[in-house]
Structure formats: structure tokens, C-alpha cells
Amino acid sequence: MKIMVIAAHPNLEQSRANRAFALELKKHDSIYFRDLYREYPDWNIDVEREQQLLVQYDRIVVQFPFFWYSCPPLLKKWFDDVLTFGWAFGPGGDHLKGKEFMVATTTGGTERGYRSGGSNWYTISELLRPIQSTFTRCNGTYLPPFVTYNADEGTDAFLAQEAANYAEHIQTSMRMLVH
């Protein structure tokens, strides 16, 4: 299985958690890791290149810090620019049919905060529904996300273990992820 990870962190070098994830993934030759903010500092996304890359991979993982119940703005722009009508969905929009999609995100909040009645009122799965709907609208299969809670408070050892768990999660077969 060919896996591409599209990381969207406005300052990946300053992030402890997302940087730990990136460093771990770069140890795996089977995973193609990309940093959107490094590739597109001017925000001019090469749509044709992005679409060509998407076609080449079986599983696409979007990795980002959870900002105000959503993804960072460059990733949202990437969705808008790349996943177009007639290419990703709609008549003739079958280029992503059968692709597997996954979210990997980090939160500053605790897992307890992301539940009904918690400080964020909703589960992380509920809050990720717009991204899930985007991928399923594009004829893809949405797989269970990988979430690291309380990332801001995590020790280096905790983040290293989470990074190893993340690498394992995104390489796990769909059959094992979806029971």
C-alpha cells in the first residue's frame, strides 16, 4: 500500500507534536511525507501536481493541529483548490474512487474535553465530520482518525510514543481499522 501524508502545520519546526510525527514518519520508506506550508509558502497550490500525486497513492493522510474545531487554513484551501467538481466528485469526478483517507490530528485539549458534556461539547469524531464528508463526497473511504490529545502538555517520551503509534496506525490495513 502506498501512503502519502500531507502535513499542514503553519510552523512545523516549532511544533513539538507534529514535528515528532514528521520525524517518525520520515524513518519509513513506504510513507511519502509532505509539508504543505513548506511547499506552498505563497499559498499558490499547484493543482495539477496535487491531483497527480493523489492518483498515485492508495491512502492519503492529512496531518494537522486541530485549530478552532477545524484544520489550518492552507489545508482548507488545498481541499477547495484540489478536490474539484468533475475531478474529485460530480460527473466525471471519479479519480479518487476507492482511495483511503485518514485524519491525524493533535489537540491541546484532553480527551475528556472532547465528549458529550465535555468542555468542547462534542467528540472529536463529530467535530471532524466536515472533513469526513469531504472525503466520502470524493468517493473515498474514510478511516478512523488518529488523535493525540493534550499534545501541548505531553512529555518528549509521550510524544515519541504517540509518533510510533501514529506510524503504526496509518500503516494498518483497512480491514484491521474498520471492524
Domain boundaries, the chain: 3-177
pLDDT tens for 128-151 read 999 999 999 999 999 999 999 988
Q: How far is residue 126's CA from residue 122's CA, in Å, rounded to a whole number?
A: 6
User: What 3-state DSSP class applies to 167?
Assistant: helix
Q: 3-state DSSP helix/strand/coil percent for the chain, to nearest 5?
A: 40, 20, 40
d(CA 122, CA 179): 23
Is 3-177 CATH 1.10.10.10?
Answer: no
How many H-runs (helices) and E-runs (strands) does the chain carry? Answer: 8, 6
Within 10 Å of residue 171's Cβ, how many Cβ atoms?
Answer: 14
**Beta carbons within 10 angstroms of residue 91's beta carbon:** 7
Whether the full predicted model's pTM is greater than 0.75, yes or no, is: yes
Answer yes or no: are the C-beta atoms of 12 and 18 closer than 8 Å: yes
Per-residue pLDDT tens digits for 44-81? 999 999 999 999 999 999 999 998 889 999 999 999 99
